């Protein structure tokens, strides 16, 4: 995938840019709705025998448009978003820096400079995509702005029951700890990446060593509690159990921020400073304050059993699905 970074105003000349079918959107999470939009663009590009392009933006428009927001938590921070888009088999990605001057473009200026000017001959976006100053341009008015230079496909709303699959729905699911639901909306588990740092070194003394993880980006994370997770490092993936929390059993005073610690099953290596990715599969319980270490140990044993049973069932259902598809 060829990536073209653009800061407004751009100086790309139409005749130097290949014709494309262009999918448009912010695409935080690259959830199933986004996948449908991008896959529709890909199909159309094959039909028309031109490149398939995605145009996305960074940072999130709310940082520029709502002055009181300095940083937002992403489902997929930029690098992850680009990787998941690339995995869908796209030829080119226009990454437009979302600046104030860009946000002030009128719908017609946006279409002239960023669609017609980038040689898109067909545009694909969801039914509720908006563009231009105050989001005034819509899919209904797009043909008017197109000046006959391109056609378009509006992708119908993809829903889960009554609810539109959206980045907001995925964010809420993660924030509420419903990581299994987030997984079904994303079509894969939500994941976060970071580095293994030194913890309080108590874990090994109670029989459950844990890798303490410092996140590398501003991710949305699930609330405090215990989760069945998979953790990958150096190209290998392991099952484990994660506690996000303040460890109230050991801390009278709540630490500033919760720690994220993973006990990896059947694993005994030294992994400080290693880069890891954690995938959230299932919430098991809330964090508790136990009256003693023995009680905590007994509970962690039950947590591990529950997580192992879950992964066993998952492996069996994946096997059945794979056999059906064979």
| Residues near ligand FMN (CB under 6 A) | 199-203, 208, 210, 212, 226, 241, 243, 247-250, 261, 263, 287-290, 296, 300, 303
Judged by beta carbon distances under 5 to 8 A according to partner kind, the member of ligand FMN, ligand ATP, none in contact with residue 26 is ligand ATP
Query: DSSP code of 149?
Result: S
Write down the least CB distance from residue 175 to ligand FMN, Å: 20
Please tell me the number of Cα atoms within 13 Å of 204 on its side-chain side.
Answer: 10
* Alpha carbons 116 and 25: distance in angstroms, whole number: 17
* Alpha carbons 116 and 150: distance in angstroms, whole number: 7
Judged by beta carbon distances under 5 to 8 A according to partner kind, the member of ligand ATP, ligand FMN, none in contact with residue 59 is none
Residue showing the smallest CB distance to ligand ATP in the complex: 126
Write down the least CB distance from residue 27 to ligand ATP, Å: 5
- Residues lying near ligand ATP in the complex (CB under 6 A) are found at 24-28, 33-34, 36-37, 125-126, 128-129, 155, 157-158, 164-168
Backbone angles phi, psi at 191, to 5 degrees: -135, 150
CA 227-230-231 angle, to 5 degrees, is 115
Q: How far, CA to CA in Å, does 113 sit from each of 22, 46, 91, 105, 195? A: 14, 24, 20, 10, 41
Write down the least CB distance from residue 68 to ligand ATP, Å: 18
Judged by beta carbon, residue 83 or residue 254, the one nearer ligand ATP is 83
Judged by beta carbon, residue 163 or residue 289, the one nearer ligand FMN is 289
Write down the least CB distance from residue 204 to ligand FMN, Å: 8
Backbone angles phi, psi at 124, to 5 degrees: -125, 130
């Amino acid at each position: 995938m060829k990536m073209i970074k653009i800061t407004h105003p751009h100086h790309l000349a139409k005749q130097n840019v290949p014709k494309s079918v262009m999918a448009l959107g912010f695409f935080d999470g690259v959830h199933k709705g986004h996948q449908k939009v991008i896959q529709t663009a890909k199909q159309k590009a094959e039909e028309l025998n031109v490149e398939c392009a995605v145009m996305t933006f960074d940072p999130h428009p709310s940082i520029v448009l709502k002055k009181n927001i300095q940083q937002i938590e992403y489902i997929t921070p930029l690098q992850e978003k680009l990787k998941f888009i690339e995995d869908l088999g796209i030829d080119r990605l226009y990454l437009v820096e979302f600046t104030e001057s860009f946000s002030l473009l009128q719908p017609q200026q946006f279409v002239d400079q960023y669609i017609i000017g980038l040689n898109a001959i067909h545009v694909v976006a969801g039914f509720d995509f908006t563009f231009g100053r105050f989001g005034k341009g819509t899919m209904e008015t797009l043909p008017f702005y197109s000046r006959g230079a391109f056609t378009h496909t509006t992708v119908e709303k993809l829903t889960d029951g009554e609810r539109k699959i959206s980045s907001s729905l995925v964010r809420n699911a993660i924030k509420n700890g419903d990581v299994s639901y987030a997984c079904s909306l994303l079509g894969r588990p939500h994941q976060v990446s970071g580095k293994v740092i030194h913890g309080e070194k108590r874990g090994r003394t109670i029989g459950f060593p844990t890798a303490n993880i410092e996140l590398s980006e501003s991710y949305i994370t699930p609330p405090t509690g215990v989760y069945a997770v998979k953790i990958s490092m150096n190209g290998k993936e392991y099952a484990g159990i994660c506690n996000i929390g303040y460890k109230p059993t050991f801390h009278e005073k709540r630490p500033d921020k919760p720690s994220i610690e993973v006990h990896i099953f059947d694993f005994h290596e030294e992994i400080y400073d290693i880069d890891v990715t954690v995938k959230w599969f299932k919430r098991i319980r809330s964090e508790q304050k136990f009256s003693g270490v023995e009680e905590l140990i007994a509970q962690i044993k039950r947590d591990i059993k529950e997580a192992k049973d879950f992964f066993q069932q998952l492996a069996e259902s994946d096997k059945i699905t794979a056999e059906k598809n064979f």
